[in-house]
Amino acid sequence: MLLAIDVGNTSINLGVFDGDVLTFTWRLTTGIDRSTDEYGSLLFTLLQRQDLSVSRITGAALCSVVPPLALIFREVCLKYLGVSPLVVEPGIKTGVRICMDNPREVGADRIVNAVAAHHLYGEPLIVIDFGTATTFDVVSEGGDYLGGAIAPGIGIASEALFTRTAMLPRIELSHPKQAIGRNTVSAMQSGIIFGYSGLVENIIKRIKMELGCEARVVATGGYAHLVADDIPAIEVINPDLSLVGLHLIYEMNKMGE
């Protein structure tokens, strides 16, 4: 069995693959202050709840946008699972050519998403990850990673309204019933959710114009469900995209050994 670990700024996605089948998934809140032993104990508990013995995990694949946690999860895999994880970083085979000015600066999470979407849905593609940041990743007709766009995430936008204004409250992010808010909370929800839908639609439109062709649009990330229904261009929502990408990259590099 393979353990896939995607460490983000806000959440950590974990998944266990039995062969090619994703059998279990968990989402944890990212805690930069947790130690190797704390994460190891938590992982042990999660596996135990599914009646999975640690000995059944024979491999691990890791991508992280939080450098200190990349080191910690390396140690977790070595100490608690007895395996050395494949870490998605420059030099790892991904099957996707990165056509960027500096390929090394592209986040591992973006490459992992692109690899999974390309495998599952073909090309050309626009992959949108609604996480701490909202990222747009573009795969060409030839399967090359062309780059994309990065915008502040929905959660960041909401928190900024609370922290940078004197009178606006911290709100729950939920889909508003209408654009015209009848109170402060519903007005903020309208501005954030519908405003974000407009942002995403406009960037999709511009990317397609630059590509000169239609492209399939795939969404992932924790906030995708909030805005996807308002964006007709989004054809697929796959919350496990990063885990699938990690599995594919692991198998690619395993075969190349």
First to last CA, the chain: 18
Neighbours of 189 (CB within 10 A): 21
Q: Which of 6, 109, 137, 144 is catalytic?
A: 109
C-alpha span between 14 and 250 (Å, rounded): 15
Residue 125 and residue 216 in contact, taking contact as beta carbons nearer than 8 Å:
yes
* 18 among known catalytic residues: no
Residue 1 and residue 58 in contact, taking contact as beta carbons nearer than 8 Å:
yes
The closest alpha carbon to 117, from 241, 208, 21, 200, belongs to 241
Q: Report the largest interatomic distance among the alpha carbons of the chain, rounded to a whole angstrom.
A: 61
C-alpha span between 162 and 189 (Å, rounded): 12
Q: Which residues are catalytic?
A: 109
